Each structure stands twice: as structure tokens, then as C-alpha cells.
Structure 1
Amino acid sequence: MDKLNLFAGYNFTKNNDDISDIVEYQNMHAISAGVGYSVTDKLYEWIVFRLRQYDKRHN
């Protein structure tokens, strides 16, 4: 079990205006969780689940 790793995170993007015509990622909330496993000292496998919620009220 010492090779098993659980992780989770939260992200909020207030304003991503890299491309001014595309506002899809403004005010975005994202939650992710996953599990990883060290197969060998140099090989790490992982799987992540992501739940995103958008707020398109970006006036």
C-alpha cells in the first residue's frame, strides 16, 4: 500500500482571456480526484476524475 497515492484538488478560474472572442473558461469551477500507483521507481500510473461546473454569466 505504500505505492498508492490518493489526490484531490479544486480550481477556480476567474478570467481566462487568452483569446478575447472565446469566453468558455471564464468563471469556471473544477473539482478533481484521482488515484495513482507506483508500478516501479520510474513508472507511475494514475487515473483522475474531473467534475467541472461553468458559470457563463461573465458580464
Structure 2
Amino acid sequence: MAHPSDDDAMDELRAQPFEWRRRGLMPPIELEALIARRLSGVVRGVPADPTYADFFVAA
């Protein structure tokens, strides 16, 4: 079975952050950056684990 990252459709979606946001999701590249910042301790005053506020924005 092919790994999802090998799939051309997934690669195309990763290149289109708007499509992720349009569906109410955080694009993978932004999610990866959020996790890296949290784990590195760069962001002060927030928990290491993601919170709902990381993913949901007030309308």
C-alpha cells in the first residue's frame, strides 16, 4: 500500500492551503509549524499541547 504522502492528490492538496481552510481545516504545513513551535518552546505562556483555540477561529 502506498503511503499517503506518495499520493499525487494529497501533494496537490498540500500545495493549496485555501482548500484546507475552505473545509474548516488547518493546512498540513501550518499544523506542522504550530507543532514545531510548541515543542521547541518558542511560544511562551501557552501549553505545549494544542488547544481548541489553535484550530478554531471566532466567526
TM-score (norm 2): 0.24
Q: Name the one with the larger strand percent.
A: 1
Q: TM-score, normalised by structure 1?
A: 0.24
Which structure shows the bigger proportion of residues in helix conformation? 2
Structure 1 or 2, whichever has the larger Rg, is: 1
